[in-house]
Chain A
Amino acid sequence: MLLMVWYTPSPEVAYSNMLAIMSNVPLGQFMRDLHRLGAEAMVIIVTLHMLRTFLTASYKKPRQFTWASGVVLVILTYFLSFSGYLLPWDQLALWAVTIGASMIEATPPEIVGTNLNLLLRGGPDIGANGLLRFYLLHVLLVPALLFVFTGVHYYKVILHGHSLPPKEENIGEDTAKRVPLDKRVYFIPDILSSEVLWIGVTSLILIVLVTWFFHAPLENHANPQSTPLGTTAPWYFLWIQGALKLGDKVLWGIIFPTVFLVFLFVWPYVDTAPSRRWAHRRIQLTVGFVIMSTLVIFSYMGLSEFGVVNSADVTIMHHLTMEPAHNHMGILRPVPYEELVPGQYTSREFAVEDSREAASAVAALNAEIDAEIGAAIPRFMNIEGIPPAATLDEDIRLYMETQHLPLTDLNFVTAPDAAPELRAVLEEFAHEIELHEDELYHGWGGVIITEVQDGLKRIDVFIYWQDVVVENGKVVYGEDGEPIVRLDENGNPIPRLNAQHIFIHRDSQYFAAPGT
């Protein structure tokens, strides 16, 4: 409620509202964190509650409808959380929701799916309309429904009383109503007071968590033009994303979740055996566990690490330079600013067995790139009107110029001893190139640090290698067990280069992400 005071659902200002909440509103960050964590906690608690109800078979007669209203509440809770996801209008929000909404698009027949999607997003892509719709869902429609169904659920709970633990009950009897008067648990004052207590205790736990352990993420401004590598749906929808990787969009994205939900609704009416004891419910419990394991496995498959293949150079670049997202960031970013000494460094320095050979490895590379390339050998820079580069040094510099990095010479040096963290990154860089040595054939990397402004440095990272045959993300090997090098029409290996750059400001405070 309070957060609404500072928020306008429009793509132009939503994000700056977030910044204002973070930077100008006292306790703003605290409220945001609490809101975010509370939302996630609610999803978890509601799910656990459902699980508990299933295990103790509390859904059985006469509480079938209580269970059904509970299922509605679970769904609504998920949607409440999901519709809130988009509102900060950062990259995380935009792409998580885009993925979520595109599942809806798969609804058959096509005309229904397309229109449902349009209705929700307010246009072919999520923009101003979509944001406004999600905002209204989040603050009006879903809460209103949630309110109604909570009423139904509570009414039913009060009507039928809480079920007792299965062991204390005779099979087929609902004893809640027959508990002797002095042993009954009444809503007022017993349940009410303990609920107030638990609200107090959980709030305290949440507050402790957001104060010291959890901060709601805020990534860069949403940019429909750039998809971050490794986007995922919110974690509680990961199972659908994972299922989607199995194949058909309609089958796995729509039919499977729908069947699953219908199954949940009708379960109490299917499982009508009177006993609530575990020993009598072997089949039901087995079904339940199979379903739960499936969901866990699907969720794991939904992670970006699973089943998505990127080429080795892209993966390594990403690992070094990525913007902070999903609690990760490129390993170059948290290197202390003073350690980013301007200069040209190379992975070759760290690709040697014996560190005493490091300096000569760098010198050897400098000699290698300064050697004339023969007329027949291809360059990767072929610019019309500019004569082909004479040396590899020049070839790389021509490329860097297209990245707006003018260099007069390439001359690698060994990384300064006073920069241990930079050295560690370079070592990791060398190590990763080595891990992919078949795909990045004869590959080596460079890191060029320049000072752009006072307090601002630019870091260019590149990998140079010879192209090999890769199929479906896997290197193809020849009969000699070596990768098959691709050759041009003159029979020469084809050089490849991938370069990327980031800027680092002195005050950017990229600290190591938790757990890395």
Chain B
Amino acid sequence: MNLQGLIFQKIEHRIIAGTVAFLAMMAIIGWIAINEPGRMASFEQQYLARSIERGAGLFASNCTECHGTDGRGIVGRAPGLNSPYLFGHDFYGAIDRETSNLEAELNNPNTTEERRTEIQTRLTELQTERAAIGQRLATVSTIPGYYDPESPSRLTNLAWGSTLYNFVYTTLVHGRPASSSYWGQPMAAWIQTGGGPLRPDEGQDIVNYILNWDKGEDWTVEDLLAVNQFPIRPVDPATVVSGDVETVGTDVAAIVAELPSFQGDPQNGMTLYQGALGCLGCHANAQIAPLTDGTWTRVQEVRLQDPAVQALLPEQTGEAYLAFSIVLPHDYLVPPYGPVMTATFGAQLTYQDLADLIAYLRSQDQPIQ
């Protein structure tokens, strides 16, 4: 008490000192308040940056296996995410916008003749530019999956009604359980709310990382062509079979009798095998399913020599075995694999598809490893 008494003996002095302290406090708080918007913005920017860092780590350890270390996808395994398609970049966008503006001007009766000729020249120019881009985009059709430069947004094609952020996050929450019919291994749920291993905030980190691939207007054709695998469009004609198209079913004897009337195209078979049907997703290495390389050699030298197989086939030919093992994959299991191959191909494939697939697999006559 002595100490306090010494400093401010009189009560008036205490009141003055207290008031001064209070005013000083208010001044500092006011000063902080003025600087708050700047501080909050910089905190947010910093936080987003660190979220991206954590997301990068999580993506590397959880997602690169299927989507590739560079996020450009792996053929037959999973689509690219580091791709102009996911971000909906329209390579024709600028040209098409200018074209439609000019056309609107042409339709305007007030436009002068002079201006009209100007517009016509520009329109021809634009057309040439468009064709040039189309030329450069032509090779995109060799990349498996669905991509159409005229319809360049994944979200629009899926009629997704919300943001890209939510699209990616929802995919992470639920996975893609329904896509096992066209991907070797469907994507599992990743977030705890959907039964996965990651916390919601970790999911947000990953999404922030994925969205950081966006280049906005700066996406190039090279970026597009660097993608290894595009996603599957749900209405892909190769996978969706409407009522009046005849599918092969699972009666192997009938199939074998019918097949010779179809000419198989190995090129087309390869596209189906690596892309839409997702066969390669499992048959990529010998881990999940037998290796694609050497399939035909194995069929000739091993399977057809096996009495257990012989007993199951209507006739002892390689084509019959392939048809059989595609539509009834679980009736004979290639050791040491289990019954994991999709068993519904009989209800999906047309005769032409099956003939194409068999033609492709016939070309896989490398020596057995």
Do A and B share a complex? yes
Q: Which residues of A contact B (CB under 8 A)?
A: 12, 15-16, 19, 22-24, 26-30, 162, 165, 185, 189-191, 193-194, 196-198, 200-201, 203-204, 207-208, 211, 220-221, 223, 403-406, 452-456, 458, 501-509
For residue B48, which residues in chain A have a CB less than 8 angstroms away from its CB?
A: 507
Q: Mark B117-154, 1 if CB is under 8 A from A, else 0.
A: 00000000000000000000000000000000000000
For residue B5, which residues in chain A have a CB less than 8 angstroms away from its CB?
A: 185
Q: Which of A26, A200, A503 has a CB less than 8 Å from the CB of B53?
A: A503
Given A193-B11, A197-B8, A455-B212, A211 contacting B56 (CB threshold 8 A): no
Q: Sample 17 A-B pairs with CB under 8 A, ordered by A number.
A: A22-B43, A23-B40, A26-B40, A29-B39, A162-B1, A193-B15, A196-B14, A200-B21, A201-B18, A204-B25, A220-B54, A453-B212, A501-B57, A505-B53, A508-B49, A509-B42, A509-B49
Complex contact A189–B56 (CB within 8 A): no
Q: Is B165 an interface residue (CB 8 A)?
A: no
Given A22-B43, A207-B25, A404 contacting B14 (CB threshold 8 A): no
**Most central of B1, B8, B29, B37 by chain A CB within 10 Å:** B1
Complex contact B54–A456 (CB within 8 A): no
Complex contact A221–B201 (CB within 8 A): yes
Complex contact B39–A503 (CB within 8 A): no
For residue B33, which residues in chain A have a CB less than 8 angstroms away from its CB?
A: 26-27
State the CA gap A509–B48 with chains docked (Å): 11
For residue A165, which residues in chain B have a CB less than 8 angstroms away from its CB?
A: 2
Say how far A338's CB is from chain B's closest CB, in angstroms: 15
Q: Is B155 an interface residue (CB 8 A)?
A: no
Complex contact B4–A456 (CB within 8 A): no
Q: Which of A22, A29, A452 has a CB less than 8 Å from the CB of B56?
A: A452
Q: For chain B residues 37-72, which have a beta carbon within 8 Å of chain A? A: 37, 39-40, 42-50, 52-54, 56-57, 60-61, 64, 69
Complex contact A505–B25 (CB within 8 A): no
For residue B37, which residues in chain A have a CB less than 8 angstroms away from its CB?
A: 26
State the CA gap A12–B203 with chains docked (Å): 12
Say how far A320's CB is from chain B's closest CB, in angstroms: 16
Given A194-B4, A198-B4, A404-B61, A454 contacting B215 (CB threshold 8 A): yes
**Given A27-B36, A456-B52, 7 other A-B residues pairs in contact with their CB atoms under 8 A:** A165-B2, A185-B5, A193-B14, A193-B15, A201-B18, A502-B53, A503-B53
Complex contact A211–B4 (CB within 8 A): no
Q: Is B266 an interface residue (CB 8 A)?
A: no
Complex contact A505–B28 (CB within 8 A): no
Complex contact A15–B36 (CB within 8 A): no
Complex contact A23–B44 (CB within 8 A): yes
State the CA gap A207–B26 with chains docked (Å): 10
| Chain A, residue nearest B4 (CB) | A194
State the CA gap A313–B174 with chains docked (Å): 40
Complex contact A503–B57 (CB within 8 A): yes
State the CA gap A16–B8 with chains docked (Å): 46
